Chains A and B, each alone.
Chain A
Amino acid sequence: MINPPKWATKFLRWYCNPDLLEEIEGDIYELFDRRIEEKGAGFAKRKFLWDTLRFFRWSNIKRTHTINQRSNAIIMLRNYLHVGFRNMTRYWVTSSINIFGLALALATLITLFIFIDMQQNMDNYHTNTKKIYQVVNNVKSEGELELWGDSPVELGSILVENHSQVEEMFRVEYQYANVKYEDNVFNELLVFTDPGFLKMLDFSVLAGDRNTLEKRDHIVISYDMAEKYFALEDPVGKLLTLKFGSNNIKTFTVGAVLEKYPYNSSMRFNFLLPMEQLRELQLVDKFDWSYFTDATFIMLKDGADPLALTEQADQYISTQNSFDPEWKVESFELISLETLCQQSHRIRSAVAGGSHPAGQIALGIIAILLTVLACFNYMNISVAASTKRLKEIALRKVVGSNRGAITVQFLVENLIQVFVALIIGTLIGYFLFMPGLNSILPFSVPFRFASIPMMVVFFLSILILVGVVSSLYPALYVSRFQPVSIFRGNTKFGTKNVFSKVLLAFQLTFAFTTVVGCFLFTDNAVFQKNQEWGYEGEGILSLTLNDPSQYSALNEFASANPLVAEFVGSANQLCIDYNVHAVHQRETEVRSVVFNTHANYPQMMRMKLKEGQWINGKLDAANNPEILINEQFVKKMGWDQPIGERLTVDSTLLTVVGVVENFQYQSWFGYDQLLPSIIKVTPEENYQYAIFKSTPGNLTALDASLKALWLDVAPNDPYDRVIQSNAYDQFFNELDGNIVVINVISAIAIVLAALGLFGLLSFNIQSRIKEFSVRKILGATTGQIIKIASKQYFWIVGIGFVLGAPAGFFMINSLIQSVFPNPKPVGLMPFILSMLIMALTLAFTITGQLIKASHVNPAENLRNE
C-alpha cells in the first residue's frame, strides 16, 4: 500500500480546521488512490502535495469553534504555568535563592552591557556619522610608524577644493586662554574650528545663530559654559574677553549657545571660534603645511569610497614632507566617526575620548562569568529541588506524559523563574548598580540602550540563553527517571551527582579567585594611598601667576597678613608642575626631576632632611649654587657620601649640600616610577606659582581673602589655585573607585557561591534525613552527624581554594605589577583573610542546615515507613 507523503498529511492536519478536515482529507485521499492507478505513485504524491497546498487558505484554516478546539498543548502549557507558580510560592526559599542569585548576576550583566554598549555606540546619533571621517596620518618617528591624530592644517581645505567627493570639512585646533566675563575668569581650553563643524554634526543650537562660526569675532559656547559664566542671563550677544598672552587680548561676541551634549558624544568642546582667528591672533608662527592642527574631519558625499580618497590624498605627502623634513607623514588614513571612539586608544593625541578596549573586554568577561556561575547555581538548585517532585514526575508519566512533555514542563517552570529574575535584575541594575557605577566613573552612563532593537535583542537573548542554559539540564535530567523505579523507591538523587559537584567546585574556585584578587588589590591600593608624601601638604595653597608683577603684589599681601605663616615664589610646585631634565655628573647622565624654586621652599613644604643641610639660596653661578637631592638620586648614583658631589644642569655646575627623603612630586604617583630629583634655587623672574602656608586652621579664610585680592591684582586672569592636601584626590578617587568595583564583583561571587552551597547542602540533607535518623538511633553524636553531612563539601571548598587562590593571585598580581611600579610586597594576609571570609560566609550559610541535620528526630522521620 502506497501512502501519501507523511509530512504533507501532518501539515494538512496542522493547519486545517478540524471541522473540515474529514471531508477535505477524504477528497484528497480519494484522488490520491485514483491517481496511483492512473499515473503511478510519484505523480500521485506530487499531486497530493499540490492539493494540500491548494487547500491552505484562510477559509480552511480558520477555526469555527474556538473553545472546544484549543489544542492540547495550550491547555498543558496553562497547567505548567499553574504548577510552576504553585511550586515557586510553596518552596519560596529555594525559588528566592534561585531568583536572587540569578538576578544579581543579570543586574551586573545588564549594567556592564549598557556601559559597553554605550562605549561601542559613541557619536552614532549624528545623521552623517557614516559619512564623516577623521583624517589621521602615519608618521615615522625614531624608526617607528606612529598613528597621529594631528594633521597638516592645510589638508582639510585642499581636500574640499580638489576632490569633488569631499563635501565639507572642519578642523580642530586646541588653544588655552583666560576667558573673562565680568568677574568670572577661568583658564579654558578653546577650540578653533570651521563652519563645517555645525554643518556636519547634529549638535543643536539652544539659542543664537547656527552660522555663528562664519562670523568673525563671534564665539559659540556650550551649555555648561553658558551656565558657568552667565548663570541666569541670556549669553547671546554678550562679550567674552579672551586673553591668550599678556599682550594678546581680544573680545568676542557670543553668537550661539549649544544644547547640552548628548551622553554618547565623544567630542565635548566648550568654546568654538572661527579658524581664521588662529591666524589673526598670531597664535601660530607658520600657518602652512608644516603646521599640524589637532584634528581634521571631512564629510564624504553619499557612496564615496574612503579608500579611494586615501590613495588620492597621497599626492600631498610630498608637499608636507618638503615643508617639514623632520616630521614626515608616510600615509594618510581615514577613520570613520562611527568607530573613532573605539580606535582612539591607538591614535596619538586623539580628540575623541574613548577608553582602551581592554577594560571593556575585562568587564565583559567578568559579567559573562558571573552569569555563567549564576546559571550553574540555578542548574544545581533546580536539579536538587526536583527531588521533592519525583512522585509527581512518575505520576505524570504513568498518566501518559512522555519524556518530551516532562522536559517542556520543567523548561516552562524554569523559564518563569528566569523571567522573574530578569525583571528583578533589571530593577537592581536600574536602581543600584547603574547609579553605583556612575558614582565611580568620571562621566555618566544613562540606563539606556543605544537602540531599541538592540535592547529587545539583548533581553530576549538573555531570556532564551540563560533560560535554556540553566533549565535545559535540570529538565532533561529530571525527565529521564522511570516511574517504576521511582515508585519502588529505587531512584535517589542529590546524593551522588558528580556533575553538580563539579559545578559547585567551579563556583567556589571562581569565588576564591575573586576574593583573593580582591584582597590583594585592595591591600595594594590602600598601600599606594598611604605612601608617604615626603612632605606636609597641610595648609599649603599654590596660586598660578601670569606675570612677575603679580608675585610682588602677593608678596606684599603675604608679609602683612596674619593668615599667612609662610610664603615663597616658585617655578615648580609638587604635583602640579615639574620638569624632567638630563642631569650630568661628569660622563654619567641621569634623568631627573628638577625643581626650580625658592631657597625656603623645602623647609616650608616640611621636607625631611636626611643628611647635610638646607640650601642657602645664593645664585652666583661661579660659586656652584647649592642644591638638595632626594634619596632616589643617591640610590641611583650609588653614592656613599653624597654631600659635596657636583652635578651639571643646563651647563651650570651645582653642589649637593643635603639629601631629603623621597617626595611625591606627581599627582598619580602610584603609576609611575619615582625619579631622582633635585631642588635648586631659581631667580624671581622665573616664578610661576605663589605658594602660601596658612597659619593653622586658616586655609579657608586665606583662600577667600586671596580670591578677593586677586580681582584687584589680576582682573583678567583666573584665580587658579590648588590646595595641596587635595592635589592627589583624582588618583585617590580612582583607586577608591577600583576598590569598590572589585569588591562588589567579589561580593557577588561570594554570594553566588554561598547560595549554591546552601542549595545543594540543604537538599542533600533533606534526602539523607532518614540516614541521619538511623545513625542517631545507633548512637551517632551531633558532631558526628555534622561531620558526615558536611564532609564532602569540605573537599569541594578545599579544591576551590587550592585552584582559585593561586589563580586570583597570579591574575591580580600581574595586573598590579604592570600598573604600579612600586607594589606592596605580597604577604600571607590576603590569603588568610580571604580564606577566613569564605569560611565564615560558607559556615554561616550552612550552619542552619547542619543543625537541622543533627537535630533530626528519628521517631518522626522513621515513623511513616
Chain B
Amino acid sequence: MSKGEHLGELEELILLTVGSLYNEAYGVSIMDEIKASSGRDLNVSAAHAVLKRLETKGYLKSWMGGATQERGGRRKRYFSLTPSGKGILDQSMNYRMKLYQSIPDVSFNFSA
C-alpha cells in the first residue's frame, strides 16, 4: 500500500458505514449509524469532512437526492461506494485477516 492510498481509521469506518447503508448514506444517517453501531459520538461536520476527502480520493461517489418535506426542503447528498472504494476495503480487510490469522494460537492463551 503506497502512502496516498492509506486509509485512516475513521475513513475506514465511514467507508464501511456507507457500504452498509446502501443508497441511504448521507451526513446525518452516517453519523447516526456510527453512533448506533460503535457508540462513537461524531460531529456531523467531521463526517462531512471525511466524506469529502473520500470522494476526492475516488472511493466514494455522491449525488444530490430529491427535495422532500423534511429539513426545510433541502436536498441531501447521498454517497455510495465506487469500485475502487470496494477495492480498498477488500484490501484492508484482507490485510487485517491475514495478520489476524498469522497470530499464533499460543498468544490467545491468556490463562497461562
Residues of A within 8 A of B (CB): 22-31, 33, 50-51, 54-55, 57, 59-60
CB distance from B59 to the nearest CB of A (A): 17
B72, A57: Cβ atoms under 8 Å?
Answer: no
Main secondary structure of the interface of A (DSSP, over half): helix
- Docked pose: A29 CA to B76 CA in angstroms: 11
Return the contact of B48 from the options A27, A29, A30 (Cβ within 8 A).
A27
A29-B71 CB under 8 A given contacts A51-B44, A55-B48: yes
Mask: chain B, 55-79; 1 = CB below 8 Å from A; 0 = not:
0000000001000001110111100
B49, A30: Cβ atoms under 8 Å?
Answer: no
B44, A31: Cβ atoms under 8 Å?
Answer: yes
- Docked pose: A30 CA to B74 CA in angstroms: 9
Write out the residue numbers on chain A whose beta carbons fall within 8 Å of the beta carbon of B70: 30, 33
A59, B75: Cβ atoms under 8 Å?
Answer: no
CB of B85 closer than 8 Å to a CB of A: no
B52, A26: Cβ atoms under 8 Å?
Answer: no
B48 nearest in chain A by CB position: A24
B71, A23: Cβ atoms under 8 Å?
Answer: no
CB distance from A377 to the nearest CB of B (A): 54
B27 nearest in chain A by CB position: A27
Mask: chain B, 20-42; 1 = CB below 8 Å from A; 0 = not:
00000011100000000000000
CB distance from B30 to the nearest CB of A (A): 10
- Docked pose: A286 CA to B52 CA in angstroms: 90
B52, A59: Cβ atoms under 8 Å?
Answer: yes
A22, B28: Cβ atoms under 8 Å?
Answer: no
Write out the residue numbers on chain B whose beta carbons fall within 8 Å of the beta carbon of A31: 28, 44
CB distance from B23 to the nearest CB of A (A): 16
CB of B84 closer than 8 Å to a CB of A: no
- Docked pose: A22 CA to B72 CA in angstroms: 10
B78 nearest in chain A by CB position: A23
Q: Which of B45, B49, B75 has the most CB of A within 10 A?
A: B45
Number of A-B contacts (CB under 8 A): 54
Q: List 8 A-B contacts (CB under 8 A).
A: A23-B48, A23-B75, A27-B48, A28-B44, A30-B28, A51-B45, A54-B46, A55-B45
B74, A26: Cβ atoms under 8 Å?
Answer: yes
Return the contact of A51 from the options B26, B43, B77 (Cβ within 8 A).
B43
Write out the residue numbers on chain B whose beta carbons fall within 8 Å of the beta carbon of A27: 26-28, 44, 48, 71, 76
Give the top 7 A-B pairs by smallest Cβ distance, nearest first.
A26-B74, A54-B45, A27-B27, A23-B77, A30-B71, A29-B71, A55-B45
Beyond A23-B77, A54-B43, 16 additional contacts (C-beta under 8 Å) are A23-B26, A23-B27, A23-B74, A24-B27, A25-B72, A26-B72, A26-B74, A27-B26, A27-B28, A27-B48, A29-B74, A31-B28, A31-B44, A33-B70, A51-B44, A59-B49
CB distance from A300 to the nearest CB of B (A): 56
Return the contact of B45 from the options A22, A25, A30, A57 (Cβ within 8 A).
A57
Write out the residue numbers on chain B whose beta carbons fall within 8 Å of the beta carbon of A26: 71-72, 74-76
- Docked pose: A33 CA to B71 CA in angstroms: 8
A25-B43 CB under 8 A given contacts A30-B28, A57-B49: no
- Docked pose: A26 CA to B77 CA in angstroms: 9
